[in-house]
Homo-oligomer: A and B are copies of this chain.
């Protein structure tokens, strides 16, 4: 990142404290302090020192209790605050000054209640800064460390929220976080849940960074309402990516309703959904839309790592279900495996003639009452050399049939590494369902859910193969300096300097000059356009004329365009009229834009020009800087690529030159990130293979440093 160093505190002593002070400990079993005490002493395996702090007790359940944190000889690693809102600030100050390393504040009644509460949170941050103690909360459910069986929380559900596993969960907002962790009841194994409440100090990025390094965590799950600090979030996500740990994210705020609701809930700005999603995709963060989807893909990633080249087998005892699942695999654009001959032979040997053996496998319900047959056929399917993942949709609870199938599933999965994904489609459960969960194969709940999870699993694998470990996003966030436009000719001069071809045009200040330029540059026909930094919509105001075919037409067009211009702005603001040769067909018009997102910094957008961007939203986006490989991917992601790449047997266009232009722009903006707010080439004409590209129109917005000063001229850049 270009910003100041992005520091992440090591949270080991928050998650695994050696000593804890519970401030506000209570003997009342239903109080926050009482419930936390019970969670720590009865429902946890905490072997360190536990100090109780409460001026109202000498001891609680026989444990000594002191009035203040200052009464402890040695500061504990962690203080847990279960105190009234009006005592929180003072208690935090005491803890920080006494040398406590981390404080968890359960107490609510701060930022979520309004401006006064937000001001108090600012003072909490001051305490954190001045003492070095990091604060978790306020208004939070605490830390649930399932892998260490340590409940730094007050929830009465802690005692049952204990199915350890390789998933780390970092959430904004406790409700959705808890919805996710209750996936335990379907077999999800969760090692750690951090939910920082109002995030006065520590935030979701800190937890992600910690989990990226935690040896017991293999998959990181997060729910977000807004990214508070884009560069820190990107740094944490990149850290996880470089360490090979997938992140799965549910981000609220994709629609106007959601953004408004999220803002009213956590005061987080949701950001632009399309940018968020593009950044997630680029960082390898698997984005999902709902809690059940989060559970499904997290479970799958916790069981296996994809290569991106997975082929799918479908195995069922219902023909209709096998057809449905195959249908969805096809609709998702995933490949069904072509079984090897030996697999087909094994299936043929084990099954009656009316069973379907070629992928999908339909063993039929009659067959499954025989445990050996279900084991043998599932084993053959999962061992097939061309099969990388096996979907087993189970349409119904069917007594002995599904009980035996469940046993076969668990048994075969113990013997083969190819992931087997059961789908328990029915609302009725039974022995088979229990066996599958207890055997560690979390069932998905619908065929569509399972196929979506498998698709995301494979796409994550594809992303991994392309991920460049050394790449770091520019990540500079927008300045608040005023933004000014360069004119088309100024922008084109800059583009020419950085190596992006522009038409060979000149600016006419009078009609006869327009005629002269026409004679010099026009290739049969010319384009004439008004030049003014204060006019952005040239066509709408009559500032553009196409197909100028003679000197006299050029003179007439000059008069007309200039008159139209002078109706809109003062004479000094009209630089003149640009006369350019008109580009001969064929070419494809694309749009390349770079703008500065307030959260994530400079983002590049590419898409087909004309009505396609607005009518069909056919665009792709990437952070800067770009590499040749990622520039190519960016083009390939759009449907526009088909058009450039010989659509319907027609000619191919110069994609290499387009990539080269994307890279030159990326490089140019990266080098001048402080000055360039926005740069758009619209259209950029992509000519046939070997003929290059031409920027037909372009505009650049820069940040003004001192009034009237353009920081960028062809002479000022290298």
Chain A residues engaging chain B, CB cutoff 8 angstroms: 109, 112-114, 156-157, 172-179, 182-186, 188, 223, 225, 250, 252-262, 264-266, 289-293, 295, 316-324, 326-331, 336, 353-354, 356, 360, 362, 365, 395-399, 425-429, 445-448, 540, 611-612, 614-616, 618, 639-640, 642-643, 647-649
Q: Are A252 and B184 in contact (CB under 8 A)?
A: no
Q: A185 — which chain B residues lie within 8 A by C-beta?
A: 426-429
Determine which of B250, B255, B318 lies in contact with A173 in the assembled complex, contact meaning CB atoms within 8 Å. B318
Determine which of B223, B264, B318, B360 lies in contact with A176 in the assembled complex, contact meaning CB atoms within 8 Å. B318
What would 17 more interface pairs be, CB under 8 Å, given A259-B327, A290-B324? A112-B354, A172-B320, A175-B395, A179-B425, A185-B427, A252-B320, A255-B327, A258-B326, A258-B331, A261-B319, A264-B356, A265-B322, A265-B323, A291-B324, A291-B425, A612-B616, A616-B618
Q: A397 — which chain B residues lie within 8 A by C-beta?
A: 182
Copies in the complex: 2
Q: Are B320 and A265 in contact (CB under 8 A)?
A: yes
Q: Which of A295, A427, A428 gathers the greatest number of chain B CB atoms within 10 Å? A: A427
Q: Are B447 and A291 in contact (CB under 8 A)?
A: yes
Give Cα A429–Cα B182 distance, bound, in whole angstroms. Answer: 9
Give Cα A200–Cα B425 distance, bound, in whole angstroms. Answer: 29
Given contacts A173-B320, A395-B175, contact A186 B331 (CB under 8 A): no
Determine which of B257, B398, B649 lies in contact with A330 in the assembled complex, contact meaning CB atoms within 8 Å. B257
Give Cα A157–Cα B614 distance, bound, in whole angstroms. Answer: 54
Determine which of B176, B331, B447, B647 lies in contact with A611 in the assembled complex, contact meaning CB atoms within 8 Å. B647
Q: Which of A252, A360, A614 gathers the greatest number of chain B CB atoms within 10 Å? A: A252
A288 nearest in chain B by CB position: B448
Q: How far is the CB of A292 from chain B (nearest CB, A)?
A: 4
Q: A643 — which chain B residues lie within 8 A by C-beta?
A: 611, 615
A394 nearest in chain B by CB position: B179
Q: Which of A177, A188, A223, A255 gathers the greatest number of chain B CB atoms within 10 Å? A: A255
Q: A266 — which chain B residues lie within 8 A by C-beta?
A: 319-320
Q: A254 — which chain B residues lie within 8 A by C-beta?
A: 327, 330-331
Q: Are A252 and B327 in contact (CB under 8 A)?
A: yes
22 pairs, A vs B, C-beta closer than 8 Å: A113-B353, A156-B399, A175-B320, A175-B321, A178-B396, A179-B318, A179-B426, A182-B396, A182-B428, A223-B320, A253-B327, A254-B327, A258-B323, A258-B324, A261-B319, A266-B320, A292-B445, A293-B448, A614-B648, A615-B639, A615-B643, A616-B616
Q: A264 — which chain B residues lie within 8 A by C-beta?
A: 319, 356
Q: Are A261 and B327 in contact (CB under 8 A)?
A: yes
Q: How far is the CB of A300 from chain B (nearest CB, A)?
A: 16
Q: Are A321 and B176 in contact (CB under 8 A)?
A: yes
A354 nearest in chain B by CB position: B113
Given contacts A178-B395, A179-B395, A611-B647, contact A323 B618 (CB under 8 A): no
A400 nearest in chain B by CB position: B156
Give Cα A330–Cα B254 distance, bound, in whole angstroms. Answer: 8
Given contacts A179-B395, A257-B330, contact A186 B323 (CB under 8 A): no
Q: How far is the CB of A609 from chain B (nearest CB, A)?
A: 12
Q: Are B295 and A427 in contact (CB under 8 A)?
A: yes
Give Cα A611–Cα B642 distance, bound, in whole angstroms. Answer: 10
Determine which of B253, B259, B327, B639 lies in contact with A616 in the assembled complex, contact meaning CB atoms within 8 Å. B639
Q: Are B328 and A225 in contact (CB under 8 A)?
A: no
A639 nearest in chain B by CB position: B615
Q: Are A291 and B446 in contact (CB under 8 A)?
A: yes
Q: A250 — which chain B residues lie within 8 A by C-beta?
A: 324
Q: Are A261 and B173 in contact (CB under 8 A)?
A: no
Q: Are B262 and A425 in contact (CB under 8 A)?
A: no
A171 nearest in chain B by CB position: B320
Q: How far is the CB of A642 from chain B (nearest CB, A)?
A: 6
Q: How far is the CB of A117 from chain B (nearest CB, A)?
A: 9
Q: A321 — which chain B residues lie within 8 A by C-beta?
A: 175-176, 179
Q: Which of A428, A447, A642 gathers the greatest number of chain B CB atoms within 10 Å? A: A428
Q: A179 — which chain B residues lie within 8 A by C-beta?
A: 318, 321, 395-396, 425-426
Give Cα A593–Cα B336 distance, bound, in whole angstroms. Answer: 34
Q: Are B427 and A290 in contact (CB under 8 A)?
A: no
Q: How far is the CB of A436 from chain B (nearest CB, A)?
A: 13
Q: Are A256 and B330 in contact (CB under 8 A)?
A: yes
Q: A323 — which chain B residues lie within 8 A by C-beta?
A: 225, 252-253, 258, 261-262, 265
Q: A157 — which chain B residues lie within 8 A by C-beta?
A: 398-399
Q: How far is the CB of A372 from chain B (nearest CB, A)?
A: 20
Q: Are B428 and A265 in contact (CB under 8 A)?
A: no
Give Cα A186–Cα B446 distance, bound, in whole angstroms. Answer: 15
Give Cα A394–Cα B356 distance, bound, in whole angstroms. Answer: 42
Q: A291 — which chain B residues lie within 8 A by C-beta?
A: 324, 395, 425, 446-447
Q: A175 — which chain B residues lie within 8 A by C-beta?
A: 316-321, 365, 395-396
Q: How far is the CB of A159 from chain B (nearest CB, A)?
A: 12
Q: How far is the CB of A586 from chain B (nearest CB, A)?
A: 13
Q: Which of A289, A426, A447 gathers the greatest number of chain B CB atoms within 10 Å? A: A426
Give Cα A186–Cα B324 distance, bound, in whole angstroms. Answer: 22
Q: Are A258 and B445 in contact (CB under 8 A)?
A: no
Q: How far is the CB of A407 from chain B (nearest CB, A)?
A: 20
Q: Are A261 and B611 in contact (CB under 8 A)?
A: no
A641 nearest in chain B by CB position: B615
Given contacts A176-B321, A399-B156, A614-B648, contact A290 B448 (CB under 8 A): yes
Q: A399 — which chain B residues lie within 8 A by C-beta?
A: 156-157
Q: Are B647 and A328 in contact (CB under 8 A)?
A: no
Give Cα A109–Cα B618 distance, bound, in whole angstroms. Answer: 52
Q: Are B426 and A265 in contact (CB under 8 A)?
A: no
Q: A317 — which chain B residues lie within 8 A by C-beta?
A: 175
Q: How far is the CB of A513 from chain B (nearest CB, A)?
A: 30
Q: Are B326 and A261 in contact (CB under 8 A)?
A: yes
Q: A293 — which chain B residues lie within 8 A by C-beta?
A: 446, 448
A289 nearest in chain B by CB position: B448
Q: A395 — which chain B residues lie within 8 A by C-beta?
A: 175-176, 178-179, 291
